[in-house]
Amino acid sequence: MASVTRVLVANRGEIALRVMRSCREMGIPTVAVYAEVDARTPHAYFADERVALQAASPRQGYLDIGQLVNIARTHGADAVHPGYGFLSENAAFAEACGQAGLTFIGPSAGSIRAMGDKVEARRRMTQAGVPVVPGSAELGDEHAALTEAERIGYPVLVKAAAGGGGIGMRVARDRNELPSAFEACRRAAQASFASPNVYLERYLAHPRHVEMQVLADSHGTTLALGERECSIQRRHQKLLEETPAVGLNPSMRAAMASAAVKAAAAVDYENAGTIEFIVSGDDFYFLEMNTRLQVEHPVTESVLGIDLVREQIRVARGERIPAAGYGHPRGHAIEFRINAEDPLRNFMPAPRRVQRYAPPTGPGVRVDSGIRPHQDVSPHFDSLLLKLVVFAADRAAAIGRGRRALAEMVLTGPKTTVPFHRAILDEPDFIAGKISTGFIDEHPALFERTRQFASEPSPLEPLFGGGEVAAAIAAGIVLTSEA
C-alpha cells in the first residue's frame, strides 16, 4: 500500500481548498504552497502548514517541479495532489514525484503521456474500438493540411496536438480559411503547450459536449460514474455543467459509459479521469481525456453522494473501489462557474479587488470558493473565482434553485458571470434542453438580459460590508497574527 499521510497540495484557489477539506475529513494533514500574491488567500491559511514559493512570476512557482518536490520532501509530505490545471496533466511531474518517493494522487506518467498527445490518443481509441471523429495525424505544413482537409471534408477544426481545453482551436469552413486557421493554431499551440504540432478533425454542426467520469483502481476495476453535459461554452471553454445530460437516452448513455471504460483501459488508467465526447444526433465520438480531477466534478458527487477526492486518495493508497459501483445517481445537479469576467465585453477578464462577498446558502446549495472579501483577484491566473452547485430532485427544480441561489449571491468588485448565468436560466431553449456548443452565439438576446440582471443587486448585499474577520468566518478559516 502506498503511503498518504501528509499531502502537499500543488495548486491554489478553490481546488486547493477543496482537496484540503477532504484531507482534513480523512485526518490527513496538508501543506499549502502559495505565490506572493496568494499569501492572504483562503487556501494558504486552511492547510496545516504553508510554504511560500520562490519564483520570478506568480505562475512560475506553481509550475516549478523541482521546487514543489523539494517542498514536499522537506516538509514531511509523502504524497502530492495536483488539483487541476498547472502540473496536473504533466507526466514529468508525476515521474518526479515517484522518483522522490512521493505518492502522486493521480494517474501514472505513462497514462498522462498517452492521453496528452491528442493524435496518439486518437490512434489508441481507434484500436480500442472507441468511436473517433474523422481526422488526421499531426501535420507538418500547410500543404499537408490542405490535402487532409479535402479528404476529411469541410468544415474542419484545427487543433493543438499537445493540449486540450479548446486552447488554440480554429474552424476553417473552406479552403480559403484553412491557411490562416492553421497558422493561428500553431502559434497558440506553441505559446500554450511549447509544441506547434496540430491536427485536423471534422467540424460537426450543432454538437453537444458530453463527458463521462471514470474511476479506476490498481486491482482491475474501472467504473463509469455517469455523464456531465458541458455544452454551454464560451471560446470553447465551459461555463455551466449539469448531470444527467439532457435528452440522453438510456442506450446511448450505456454505450457512452462502455466506451469510456474501454478508453481508460486502453491506457492502463488508474485514479479519477474524464473521457470527453462530442455528440452529434444519435452518434458520439471520443474528443479527449482529461487525466485529472475536473473542475465540474461536484455535480457528479452531488447525484452519487460520494467524495471524488476521497476516492482519489483511496485509489492512490492502493485500496479497492467497489466493483459494483456507488449506486444509481439520483436527482439533478448544475454547476455555474463564477468567473471574474465581463460577459458584456466578450467575457473579458476583470481582475479587480473583491469588495463584498457572501455566498448563497440553503437547501441543495454548495459553493466551492477560493476567495474572501477584500482579496485582490490576480491577473496572472485563470479567472475562476468559485463554483456554485445546486442539487434538486429534477432538472426543473434544479433550475429554480439555481435562479434563487444566483440572485442571492453577494459578490461585488470584479465583473462576474453571475448575471449571465441568470440570463441562461431564463432562456426558453435552455429550459427545454435545446442546447449545443454554439448556444451562446445562437442566442444573442442573452446579453441584453445579462445587462438587466447586472443592474439588479442581491437583496442581501446591504447586509455584507465585509471586513477581514467576517471574511475568515465566511471562508471557514481563522486569520492569525502571521497574516
**Active site (catalytic) residues:** 292
How many residues in total does the chain contain?
Answer: 483
User: Contacts for 137-144 with beta carbons within 8 Å, 24 or more apart?
Assistant: 137/199, 138/197, 138/198, 138/199, 139/182, 139/197, 139/198, 139/199, 139/200, 142/178, 142/179, 142/182, 142/183
238: Cβ contacts below 8 Å, ≥ 6 apart: 209, 230, 232, 295, 296, 337
Cα 250 from Cα 286, distance rounded (Å): 18
Cα 63 from Cα 72, distance rounded (Å): 14
Cα 234 from Cα 173, distance rounded (Å): 19
Q: Quick check: 223 and 261 in contact, CB under 8 A?
A: yes
- The partner residues of 271 in beta bridges, in order of sequence, read 216
Cα 163 from Cα 185, distance rounded (Å): 11
Residue with cell string 467540424: 203
- Cis status, amide bond into 155, omega within 30 of 0: yes
Residue 237 half-sphere exposure toward CB, CA atoms < 13 A: 12
Q: Is 353 helix (H, G, I), strand (E, B) or coil?
A: strand
Q: Where are the alpha helices (DSSP H) in 57-141?
A: 58-62, 65-74, 91-99, 109-116, 118-128
- The partner residues of 389 in beta bridges, in order of sequence, read 335, 366
At 33, the amino acid letter reads V
Cα 26 from Cα 103, distance rounded (Å): 17
Q: Is 255 helix (H, G, I), strand (E, B) or coil?
A: helix
Cα 292 from Cα 74, distance rounded (Å): 26
Residue with cell string 459509459: 257
At 16, the amino acid letter reads A
